[in-house]
Amino acid sequence: MTQRTGKRAVLVAANQPLEIWERPVVDPGPGEVLARLTHGGVCGTDVHFWRGEVPLPGPVVLGHEGVAVIDMLGAGVSTDYAGTPVAVGDRVYWQPVAPCQRCYACTVLGDVSMCENAFAGIFGNADGPTTASYCDYATLRAGLPFYRVPDDTPSDAVIALGCALPTMLQGLERLGGIRPGMSVVVQGCGPVGLAATLLAHLSGAAPLIVIGAPARRLAVACQFGATHTLDMDELPDAAARAARVRELTGGRGTDVVIEAAGAVPAFGEGLQLIARGGRYLIVGLWSAPGTVPVEPRMINNLNLRIIGTALSQPRHLYQALQVVQAHHRRFPLAAAVTHRYRIEDSQRALEAVARLETVKAVIAPAA
């Protein structure tokens, strides 16, 4: 029998076009799942990887957001990581990195999102089985949490907020939540900002102000519950935006600011928007290099709390599926997928995301 092969988009070196490699499709081992990709989400973090703003080891297959159909189950696999039975043909959504369960964060802190060794898996050998999603087939190795996508939940709706929704669910958990009537500013209207907007709206935030660009993304933010938007193309001055936020909040500033822009200047601006006793959640700067001047006494005198968060834990992926299942009919989640690319066109996808031409782009092998 001729062995199957599959394509994958490989980042060989920073600032170089992605290469398309074809490699054998390997049967899953015990505890593993072989899955055929239908949706590989293109995340803004992938752009940072491509630009070399986050160092990566050797050639890597890009993509850490995926929805796929189970092609083969390895020995011993009969359920997902929540105990739901799975079979060939079911759709799955998986954690991009597997916790090692042998480091301080995993075993003492009990927070696998801070695992010291997690990235060794996703950025492993680009020649062999991969958990990445810019490819025809992914191997969900033993220990990598995955969840069955409910039959009534469209794959487009799941991938629309990709890793952003579980990341934001963890962020709001670390923040301590948003209570009804709290004023919230979301900086950024890409998938992370849209996830923040949706969750803040579901929490009862009012007013809910989104700052960003372009207008197409801001329009989606309104569909996800934003009460006001500030278009940075129309209002490019940060001081003018701060004045408008204070006008919308009775001169106080906002109870919560959520940074989801992935741009360093957003941090300095965000500090100018917070009310006394307010909280600032930093979500989008994980892969954005740079510094910004800060006046520490402002944090002190205004009793501000600044909370950082990165990645997510398995429960947040499960929660994300529940959110999408419950609300995809009420909010146009699936419609946020605006661009589809073949694996061969992965470079074009990255460049389109970098130019902010998309709301959500996906690598769709069958496109």
Percent above pLDDT 90 for the chain: 87
CA 205/CA 88 separation, integer angstroms: 41
pTM equals 0.95
CA 127/CA 41 separation, integer angstroms: 21
Respond yes or no on whether the N-terminal peptide bond of residue 207 is cis (omega within 30° of 0). yes
CA 114/CA 112 separation, integer angstroms: 5
Per-residue model confidence as pLDDT tens digits over 51-72 = 998 888 789 999 999 999 999 9
Please tell me whether residue 360 adopts helix, strand or coil conformation.
Answer: strand
Pairing, β 19-24 against β 66-73: unpaired
**Which amino acid type is present at position 123?**
F
Burial of 303 (0-12, 13-18, 19+ CB in 10 A): exposed
Tell me the pLDDT band of 254, cut-offs 50, 70 and 90: very high
- Confidence check: pLDDT of 321 > 60: yes
Residue 128: CB atoms within 10 Å: 11
Per-residue model confidence as pLDDT tens digits over 35-48 = 999 999 999 999 99
CA 70/CA 53 separation, integer angstroms: 34
Domains, the chain, in order of start with CATH, read: 5-162+313-363 (3.90.180.10), 165-308 (3.40.50.720)
pLDDT (mean) for 258-276: 96
3-state secondary structure 166-186: HHHHHHHHHHCCCCCCCCEEE
Tell me the pLDDT band of 181, cut-offs 50, 70 and 90: very high
C-alpha closest to that of 337 among 363, 311, 365 = 363
Look at the block and give the residue holding tokens 């090692």.
100
Per-residue model confidence as pLDDT tens digits over 140-173 = 999 899 999 999 999 999 999 999 999 999 999 9
